């Protein structure tokens, strides 16, 4: 008998991947966590039935959420990462020897332990000595932080369930306060292709725009996320991701990346007209 994992992308669209084996399934205090092994996408992590990570395409998301801000300001030393229990964002950040401290705030310890056991491809650098993991609600954690971080990355789930608070005005305001005077905030910004997602994303974008002087979105092609067209939000107190971007400096680091490159950095901020109209 064939086993398929199906995520409902809209009420009229399903996305399915054939599963070779279910490796893990558990209900945590926050969500249902499943890990499947699949032929086409390798191991996949789903939370409450939504795909978070697949071994085959996670490099796209993690390259874009990490290297775009890091290349915009090469002097980033202290980073706060909200969510990110699979470890992919941390793996990319730890490649920068210039980063001194990474605080990761993940609400669900079971996501971390499941990924450490079954998806070492993303979880491999969670033990780096610069990484401090706090098992707390990111929304609460940022309330007490002031002028501390050069970069905040919000690597969250969708804006419903445990991740809902990470799209609120209160949260973005606290992120603003947590950042240093030249700080950058990057978040996973959902997709605007399907109408069902548009209003939520627009609301979140508007909230960020009201707080930060520099705001933009950039895009990537992520095959396993709804519509495959995914956005990231860029907000900063000072640096413009294009005007202040020094491609040469990043290229001199010699990092080998499978998706990100400095031409793509610039191109990713050129979004389609239908997206521009919504912002």
155 is catalytic: yes
| Strand residues in 28-148 grouped as ranges (E) | 32-38, 42-47, 50-54, 78-83, 101-105, 131-134
Question: Per rule CB under 6 A, is residue 226 in the interface with ligand AG3?
Answer: yes
Q: Is 195 annotated as a binding residue?
A: no
Which residue is at the shortest CB distance from ligand AG3?
50
- Count of C-beta atoms within a 10 Å radius of residue 14: 11
Q: Which of 155, 182, 240, 244 is catalytic?
A: 155
Say if residues 192 and 164 touch (Cβ distance below 8 Å): no
- For ligand AG3, the binding residues in 127-166 under the rule CB under 6 A are 155, 157-158
Q: How far is the CB of 261 from ligand AG3 (least distance, A)?
A: 21
> Going by C-beta distance under 8 Å and a sequence separation of 6 or more, which residues neighbour residue 276?
none
Residue with smaller CB distance to ligand AG3, 52 or 105: 52
Secondary structure (3-state) at 160: coil
Q: Is 106 annotated as a binding residue?
A: yes
Q: Is 37 annotated as a binding residue?
A: no
Residue with smaller CB distance to ligand AG3, 36 or 61: 61
Q: CA-CA distance, 188 to 65, in Å (whole number)?
A: 7
- Residue among 17, 33, 44, 51 that touches ligand AG3 (CB under 6 A): 51
Residue with smaller CB distance to ligand AG3, 58 or 150: 58
Question: Per rule CB under 6 A, is residue 53 in the interface with ligand AG3?
Answer: yes
Residue with smaller CB distance to ligand AG3, 177 or 227: 227
Say if residues 41 and 56 touch (Cβ distance below 8 Å): yes
Q: How far is the CB of 61 from ligand AG3 (least distance, A)?
A: 6
User: Between β-strands 149-155 and 78-83, what pairing exists: parallel, antiparallel or unpaired?
Assistant: parallel
- For ligand AG3, the binding residues in 173-212 under the rule CB under 6 A are 188
Q: Is 162 annotated as a binding residue?
A: yes
Which H helix or E strand runs over 5? Answer: strand 3-10
The CA-atom distances, in angstroms, between 261 and each of 72, 139, 187, 195, 244 are 12, 32, 19, 31, 16
Residues contributing to the annotated binding site for S-methyl-5'-thioadenosine: 31, 106, 137-138, 162
Residues forming the site for ligand AG3 (CB under 6 A): 7, 50-53, 61, 84, 86, 88-89, 155, 157-158, 188, 225-226
Active-site residue list: 155
């Amino acid at each position: 008998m064939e086993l398929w994992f199906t995520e409902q992308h809209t009420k009229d669209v399903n996305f399915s991947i054939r599963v070779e084996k279910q490796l893990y399934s558990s209900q945590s205090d926050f969500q249902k966590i499943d890990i499947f092994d699949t032929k086409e996408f390798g191991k996949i992590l789903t939370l409450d039935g939504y795909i978070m990570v697949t071994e085959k395409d996670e490099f796209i998301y993690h390259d874009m959420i990490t290297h775009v801000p890091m290349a915009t300001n090469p002097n980033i030393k202290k980073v706060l990462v909200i969510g990110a229990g699979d470890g992919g964002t941390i793996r990319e950040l730890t490649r920068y020897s210039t980063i001194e401290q990474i605080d990761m705030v993940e609400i669900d310890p079971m996501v971390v332990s499941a990924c450490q056991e079954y998806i070492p491809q993303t979880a491999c650098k969670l033990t780096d000595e610069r990484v401090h993991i706090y098992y707390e609600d990111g929304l609460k954690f940022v309330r007490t932080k002031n002028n501390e971080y050069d970069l905040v990355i919000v690597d969250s789930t969708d804006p419903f369930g445990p991740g809902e608070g990470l799209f609120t005005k209160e949260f973005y305001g606290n992120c603003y306060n947590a950042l240093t005077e030249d700080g950058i905030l990057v978040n996973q910004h959902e997709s605007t292709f399907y109408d069902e997602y548009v209003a939520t994303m627009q609301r979140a974008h508007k909230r960020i725009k009201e707080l930060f002087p520099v705001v933009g979105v950039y895009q990537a092609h992520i095959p396993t996320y709804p519509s495959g067209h995914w956005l990231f939000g860029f907000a900063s107190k000072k640096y413009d991701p294009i005007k202040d971007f020094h491609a040469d400096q990043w290229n001199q680091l010699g990092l080998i990346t499978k998706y990100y490159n400095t031409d793509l950095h610039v191109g990713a901020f050129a979004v389609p007209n239908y997206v521009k109209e919504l912002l």
